[in-house]
Amino acid sequence: MAPLDVFLDEEDANRAATVVEPDVLAVFDPAKIGEEGIHGAPDFVAEVLSDGTANRDFGVKKELYERNGVREYWIIHPETGTVFQYILEGELFMPLKEHRRGVPVQSAVFPGYSWICV
């Protein structure tokens, strides 16, 4: 959980490394874990939406996570209880799945794990 730096785009010589601090993340490959943070895409990222982060979470961060291979990305809206779930298929996030308050959200990368926003 935050604060933890995640360094993305490091493999691309045309880009400087981009550093983000997801609210929640999971990394299955221990080789990505370093003293200063995570190097490479986490397998799972969740961001908690706020008025100040909405454009960034749905725009810049979504595109960044997709481009770098984050397998599953959730945006959680705490006021409405909505979870916006993106699952990577190939190189692109599949169409958005929107889950309403009280409906279990099944994780694509954690078999058997679900979350319910109340």
Give the 3-state DSSP-derived string for 25-67, with helices as H, strands as E and coil as C: EECCCHHHEECCEEECCCCEEEEECCCCCHHHHHHHHHHHHHH
Q: What CATH number is given to the structural domain containing 42?
A: 3.90.1570.10
Instruction: Report if residue 1 sits inside a domain.
Output: no
Instruction: Report if residue 47 sits inside a domain.
Output: yes
How confident is the model at residue 44, as a pLDDT?
A: 96
Instruction: Report if residue 90 sits inside a domain.
Output: yes
**pLDDT under 70 in the chain at which residues?**
1-2, 12-15
Structural domains of the chain, count: 1
Q: Burial code of 46-58, b = ≥16 C-beta within 10 A, e = fewer? A: bbebeeeeeeebb
Domain containing residue 46: 6-115
Instruction: Report if residue 105 sits inside a domain.
Output: yes
Instruction: Say what the pTM is.
Output: 0.90
How confident is the model at residue 12, as a pLDDT?
A: 64
